Structure 1
Amino acid sequence: SRLKEYRAQGDAAREALYAARQTRDQADRAVFEARELQRAAERRHQEAGFALTTCANKIRELGDTLARIEQEIADDETRLAQARDELARLPADALDAELQQALTARTEAETALAAARDALEGLTAQLRRQDEARLACEQGLDPLRRTIEQLKLKDQEAMLMQSQFELQLREAAADEASLESGLADSPKPAQLQAQISRLQNEIAALGAVNLAALDELTQAQARSEYLAAQCADLLEAVTTLEDAIRRIGQESRTRLKETFDTVNQHMGELFPKLFGGGQARLILTGDELLDAGVQVFAQPPGKKNASIHLLSGGEKTLTALSLVFAMFKLNPAPFCLLDEVDAPLDDANTERYCNLVKAMSDHTQFLFITHNRVTMEMAQHLAGVTMQEPGVSRIVAVDVEAAVGMVEAA
């Protein structure tokens, strides 16, 4: 009966040993699969780290681009402030040039800003994808580590069970040769132990996980938020610049329209005085006030309305004088020099020209060079240059009013 008990214990030990070896086989397969999963996760994690570094470099480049755009906008704002200071004293041509420069600067700023915004959006999307991939890798590594630890525990349990079963077989005086022949096809414990050792070495060779990746990602996100704030500042600056350009354009149009209407009105008043009748006006040649040209139409008395190119020399002179005096009335100066403007005029037109000059002399002092007798008679003071000796000039001045008074007194 004791032999039967030993045999029963031997059979139970053989079955337990076989079950333990199957458990070890399953553990080996699980360790191998976990090792492959961990290796794939590590590769994905490394790729995510490389992509994160590339994204950080691109963000730094974008920061440099945004800094350059900020400097350009600061320069544009400086030029805009200078343009505002000079706006009151600039003529229409200079104002058009300044406005064109401002429009060109705005176009360049908009182009650079659009490129920076597109680059920032692309980098932000790429950074988000890399962050998601990194988090997925981190989440995938944790279960694999837990699985490996569990398999190690199971392997230790299997080895302990094997030792206990071998002890029971020796106590039961079981035939180990028959047991080994029955289990010849099964892997040897040494082989299994070698495989386990190899897997453990491979796991150790993996090294530590890059724990600094999370800090690097946080820094990259902070940099991204900083760049987003800078981009918002750029958008605000561009909006301010566009508003300033619109205000300058509107003010330029308003002032130019007021100036044009005033000069046109004054010309319409002065032209009949110089011609003894007729009419003249200024006409814009385009719809856009800042880009349009100005054409002069004059109709002397007794003639059809015609362009200034169809007038005679004297008529052109009087028309030009009416335009000059019209602008002079808009912004009169204390002094005006006229150089032989009466040369093409006959006596009647010269007399009307002199009457207009005399009427405007209440606010402006006129100095004119002339050889016309009628013009000289109108002057209050005469100054002539004579040359009694070759190479020697002498000035002779006459106070006309004093001379007339002396004649009347005599």
Structure 2
Amino acid sequence: MTLQETLNSEYQISFEEAQATAKIVDDLAEAEQKLKNLERQIKALGPINLDAIAQFDEVNERFTFLSSQKDDLLEAKNLLLSTIDDMNDEVKIRFKTSFDAIRESFKTTFAQMFVSGLADLELTSDNLLEAGVEIKVQPPGKKLSSLNLMSGGEKALTALALIFAILRVRTVPFVVLDEVEAALDEANVKRFGDYMNHFDNSNQFIVVTHRRGTMAAAGSMYGVTMADAGVSKMISVKLDSAIN
């Protein structure tokens, strides 16, 4: 093997490059030892990856892109968390405002529905986003107690008082009630029917009922009857017109 071939195969340089970088060696044995050490170090590095630079550029470009995406996601996350905090603050303010208004309204409607008595709404926790609402009531002639300790009729009348309290604070176009007064005695049924007429036209009640007291308070009645076997018939009566 010629010197040129040796330089090309073992050191990957040309004769001219070797000649240009050659230096005079004073100690040949020492130079040969250094050469062997360098050869071992080069072999220890393993084969040269000629695509390493291109692969590095590709990976680096991907890393830069993902880093940018990460920054965008973190910014979006922080913005979302900030928005959630703002919404929670707004929810707390609105809930507390509505709760206080309904609480005062409930005290009034309860006393009106029961003719007398005391009632209150209490939050079960200081955390407004997780708090429940406990109903405390004192019907006429009884001790202040929880709603769970009341009779069925008292519970129904209290629930109606709470519904009416909410409607006094926030009106809705239509209110649908399905036999809500079924557990009430006749006196309280009449009181229930009369109370619905205290609301103005901003609230319209649609009530499913079998109680005469409720029917007597209605402006219009709609019913289904079976005149012939298997044939249903719808009837309607405007009580105001009928009375007049």
**What's the TM-score bracket when you normalise by the shorter of the two chains?**
0.7 to 0.9
What corresponds to 2:93 in structure 1? Answer: 254
In structure 2, what residue type is equivalent to 1:304?
Answer: K
Whichever residue aligns with residue 249 of structure 1, its letter is N
Q: Please report how far the alpha carbon of residue 35 of structure 1 lies from its aligned counterpart in structure 2 after TM superposition.
A: 0.6
What are the within-5 Å matches in structure 2 for residues 75-90 of structure 1?
none
Shift of 1:383: 3.8
- CA RMSD in angstroms comes to 3.1
Query: Structure 1 residues 299, 218: closer, same or farther in 2, change over 3 A?
Result: same
Letter matched to residue 34 of structure 2: A
Amino-acid identity (%): 35
Distance 2:34 2:197 in 1: 110
The 5-angstrom pairing of residues 7-406 of structure 1 reads 27-43=27-43, 45-46=45-46, 221=60, 223-405=62-244
Distance 1:224 1:326, change over 3 A: same
Greater strand content: 2
Offset of 1:345 from its aligned partner?
1.9
The 2-side partners of 1:259 and 1:272 are apart by 20
The separation in 2 between residues aligned to 1:267 and 1:363, in whole angstroms, is 19
Q: Which has the higher contact order (CA 8 A, sep 6+)?
A: 1
* CA deviations over 1:226-246 (Å, ceiling 9, x no partner): 444333333322222222232
Letter matched to residue 242 of structure 1: L
Q: Aligned in 2, Cα 1:40/1:263: closer, same or farther, shift over 3 Å?
A: farther
Number of residue pairs matched by the alignment: 221
Q: Which residue of 2 aligns with 1:16?
A: none
Shift in Å at residue 215 of structure 1? 6.6
Q: Distance in 2 between matches of 1:329 and 1:36?
A: 98
After superposition, give the CA deviation of every residue in 1:218-271 in whole Å (9 maximum; x if it has no partner).
665555444443333333222222222322332333333333333323222211
Q: How far, CA to CA, are the matches of 1:393 and 1:25 in structure 2?
A: 121
Q: Deviations over 1:105-161 (max 9, x none)?
A: xxxxxxxxxxxxxxxxxxxxxxxxxxxxxxxxxxxxxxxxxxxxxxxxxxxxxxxxx
Tell me, in whole angstroms, the C-alpha distance in 2 between the residues paired with 1:250 and 1:356: 36
Q: Distance in 1 between matches of 2:222 and 2:63?
A: 79
Report SS of the residue matched to 1:398: strand
Partners of 1:27 and 1:299 lie apart in 2 by 113
Give the drift of 1:396: 4.3
Q: Considering only CA atoms, is the larger Rg found in Structure 1 or Structure 2?
A: 1
- 1:228, 1:396 → 2: CA distance? 72
| 1:34 to 1:243, Cα distance in 2 relative to 1, 3 A | same
Structure 2 unmatched ranges of 5 or more = 1-23
Supply the AA of the counterpart residue of 1:247.
Answer: D
CA deviation vs aligned residue, 1:144-184 (integer Å, no higher than 9, x gap): xxxxxxxxxxxxxxxxxxxxxxxxxxxxxxxxxxxxxxxxx
How big is the shift at 1:321? 0.6
Distance in 1 between the 2:219 and 2:57 partners? Answer: 88
Matched residue type, 1:248: M
Q: What amino acid sits opposite 2:124 in the alignment?
A: T
Higher helix proportion: 1
Runs of at least 5 residues in structure 1 that lack an aligned partner in the other structure: 1-23, 51-209, 406-410
* Shift of residue 319, structure 1, vs aligned partner: 0.6
Residue identity opposite 1:398 in structure 2: V
TM-score, with length taken from structure 1 = 0.47
